Amino acid sequence: MASHIVGYPRMGPKRELKFALESFWDGKSSAEDLEKVAAGLRSSIWKQMSDVGIKYIPSNTFSYYDQVLDTTAMLGAVPPRYNWTGGEIGFSTFFSMARGNASVPAMEMTKWFDTNYHFIVPELGPDVNFSYASHKAVNEYKEAKAQGVDTVPVLVGPVSYLLLSKPAKDVEKTFPLLSLLDKILPIYKEVIAELKAAGASWIQFDEPTLVMDLESHQLEAFTKAYADLQSALSGVDVLVETYFADIPGAAFKTLTSLSGVSGFGFDLVRGTQTIDLIKGGFPSGKYLFAGVVDGRNIWANDLDASLSTLQSLESIVGKDKLVVSTSCSLLHTAVDLVNETKLDQEIKSWLAFAAQKVVEVNALAKALTGQKDEAYFSANATAQVSRKSSPRVNNEAVQKAAAALKGSDHRRATDVTSRLDAQQKKLNLPILPTTTIGSFPQTVELRRVRREYKAKKISEEDYDKAIKEEINKVVKLQEELDIDVLVHGEPERNDMVEYFGEQLSGFAFTANGWVQSYGSRCVKPPIIYGDVSRPNPMTVYWSSAAQSMTKRPMKGMLTGPVTILNWSFVRNDQPRSETCYQIALAIKDEVEDLEKAGITVIQIDEAALREGLPLRKSEHAFYLDWAVHSFRITNVGVQDTTQIHTHMCYSNFNDIIQSIINMDADVITIENSRSDEKLLSVFREGVKYGAGIGPGVYDIHSPRIPSTDEIADRINKMLAVLEKNILWVNPDCGLKTRKYGEVKPALENMVSACKILRTKLGSA
């Protein structure tokens, strides 16, 4: 019985790649230094899987940014603004596409399906001259082979690549991207030919868009593509991998009928109904790569349950055609539990990170061949029972409070227009008020202070003093810049979710449970293992201190329940909606305490609300109902004069705009500039928005500093579709990843643009 891993985390157990990337970007190390770190990480990954006994080990899943951008490089699909002149694409062009540079902005970045991982969106059109411009897939296969590991090279499939792309800025938005299939398939054929020549016996094509609601012409594109590739693929086995959801019946039929394909991979964790399709008719003689080990969560697999599932599938496809696999790439989970020396031992026994999941996959494969490790399975069964029966998981009072929520829709008593009038009388803000999203740059010194405080190397008094000094610096800077509604900069927080999870019951934390979000950006998701409540106030002390330093309004900064949920590793023993309602009640307590402390503007970030939207349209309404309801619960009890903000970023919001309106926030700040202002199109199409809204005027994920004229032009585009009395001016997102040398001039230009337009609007 064979075993397979879809993909593996690339940052390293201690974020080695993150630090190597940032050192290279800052000019402190060379390209050779970066490549040396990357090669070491790849080698250790391949060796680990080989030592465990995995048969189908992936290569080309390692990336310096993301796998879609790797494919853009492979195809030579570089937008003209980067002045690429051909040849092998190097770091300069590659990272300019990802991050922008001093003269041109980055390409759009958006969420990878319903995960917190991001990818750079390809910009395509009829005039793109595709060429084979990155040999990364072949080079990594050869690199592994030289180390004695025969891998399965992984490519983003041609159809999914096009379906995940967008028309370039100067191309009609209705341009049929699938019409480019005939132009990119020759490049794929070149890659396939080189892989075959290098000795590859299997090639994996990731086609995750097959789990989405596709139209018939889109499904036909898969049939066409793989029929066209069939002769090129002759002599090599082909796996087409899907993940993240059930595959629809029509897509299953299309997939399992593809020409020249030897095996099909399915997510059987999030796609349990796919098992019925397999039982209803799986093609004879084909391999089934059964994704029974969860690649998106950190809970130990229920080995007995998975073994039972696999045995039922074995009876359908045959013993020699069943391959045990992960549900998706392990990119979405933490790297290795062995690094968690301080984690509670009982909770630790319930968990499995990427390294442990590799062992689970192999243990299940061996068990199917009669080589069951009885001690390993017994320990797993004991941990499963422990988790179900542990008193630390269940809190009856919390469960009752959450159950009581279901009798109301929790709307504020007054409509948003009346609330905004009451708030303006109290706040007295100018037209086009300026603000930022929350965080300010996290300096080396600030990180040192937090690290030493956690390690008990400095006293609470010294920590308190240092954080207040940082807040005061941020407040004074904003006053000098003449920003209208201030933030305290969040110097006490390493992460917007981790900070709150550390203060809520039902959460556990890791020391090294890092997961890549994009580029070098890593997050350390909390683990929600039990019922959630708030023992004590979490932000009131720092928000009150910040407000005492200025006469301008100071935002209280909170992370919303849906975002805390979607950016955590969530318990899988109850519906996600139940956990979200529990978090909402905890945040509600915090909102009301902030209001009592005199904070008149409170931002409840829901950056991840869109991210959690199910991939299938039939499931949208249920998710949006409980997600939006959870947000409203948090602020239903505040006065009309308390202004509730929310923030969203880096997703496509146009298809959920009515749900955003239904959140009933007073003001929403929302990413806009990096996505080519596509958000504004929904207002051009006639959607009426009566609350305050701040579409971002510049991209904070790029070091590039926008000019005053550029920002003014963006604001004018907003004024063409939004009323001036509801428009706010702000960056796309928080500023923690930037340096002060970038932040200060960008904000100066933002405020200057705003003042110029206020004068024009006033004279008009």
Residues of each annotated binding site: 18, 116, 437-439, 490, 521-522, 567, 605, 647, 649, 671, 733
Strand boundaries in 112-181, DSSP class E: 118-120, 123-124, 151-156, 166-167
Reading the block at residue 440, the tokens are 């300010």
Task: Measure Cα distances from 110 to 68, 98, 104, 668, 763 in Å.
Answer: 11, 12, 19, 19, 39
- What stretch of H or E contains 253? helix 249-255
Whether 591 and 602 have beta carbons less than 8 Å apart is answered as yes
Q: Is 701 a catalytic residue?
A: yes
Whether 265 and 289 have beta carbons less than 8 Å apart is answered as yes
Task: Measure Cα distances from 195 to 31, 61, 136, 157, 365 in Å.
Answer: 25, 15, 11, 15, 27
Q: Report how far residue 78's alpha carbon sits from residue 122's, in angstroms, rounded to the nearest whole number.
A: 8
Q: Report how far residue 370's alpha carbon sits from residue 436's, in angstroms, rounded to the nearest whole number.
A: 60
- The contacts of residue 328 (CB under 8 Å, 6+ apart) are 6, 7, 243, 244, 267, 291, 295, 296
Q: Report how far residue 634's alpha carbon sits from residue 583's, in angstroms, rounded to the nearest whole number.
A: 9
Residue 416 has phi, psi (to 5 degrees) of -65, -35
Q: Which of 540, 529, 524 is nearest to 504 (CA)?
A: 529
- State how beta strands 601-605 and 555-559 pair: parallel
Kindly report the three-state secondary structure assignment for every residue of 603-654: EEECCCCCCCCCCCHHHHHHHHHHHHHHHHHHHCCCCCCCEEEEEECCCCCH
* Neighbour tally for 77: CB within 10 Å: 26
Q: Which of 488, 629, 645, 701 is catalytic?
A: 701
Q: Report how far residue 251's alpha carbon sits from residue 220's, in angstroms, rounded to the nearest whole number.
A: 10
Paired with 604 in beta bridges are: 558
Residues tagged in the binding site annotation for Zn(2+): 647, 649, 671, 733
Q: Which of 733, 731, 703, 738 is nearest to 715 (CA)?
A: 731
Paired with 763 in beta bridges are: none
Q: Which of 751, 727, 730, 747 is nearest to 739 (CA)?
A: 747
Reading the block at residue 413, the tokens are 């008593």
Q: Report how far residue 354's alpha carbon sits from residue 619's, in angstroms, rounded to the nearest whole number.
A: 29
Contacts of range 716-719, beta carbons closer than 8 Å, 24 or more positions apart: 716/757, 717/677, 717/680, 718/680, 719/757
- State how beta strands 515-518 and 521-523 pair: antiparallel
Residues tagged in the binding site annotation for 5-methyltetrahydropteroyltri-L-glutamate: 18, 116, 521-522, 567
Whether 91 and 97 have beta carbons less than 8 Å apart is answered as no
Whether 659 and 687 have beta carbons less than 8 Å apart is answered as no
* Neighbour tally for 44: CB within 10 Å: 13
- The contacts of residue 492 (CB under 8 Å, 6+ apart) are 450, 467, 499, 542
* Neighbour tally for 143: CB within 10 Å: 17
Give residue 40's Cα distance to chain centre: 26
Reading the block at residue 570, the tokens are 């969530």
Reading the block at residue 749, the tokens are 């230009």
Q: Report how far residue 303's alpha carbon sits from residue 421's, in angstroms, rounded to the nearest whole number.
A: 59
B/e letters for 616-638, b = 16+ CB within 10 Å, e = fewer, are: eeeeeeebbebbbbbbbbbbbeb
Q: What angle do CA 427, 433, 438 make, to 5 degrees?
A: 90
Whether 733 and 700 have beta carbons less than 8 Å apart is answered as yes
Q: Which amino acid is at 158?
A: P
Residues tagged in the binding site annotation for L-methionine: 437-439, 490, 605
- What stretch of H or E contains 267? strand 263-267
Residues serving a catalytic function are 701
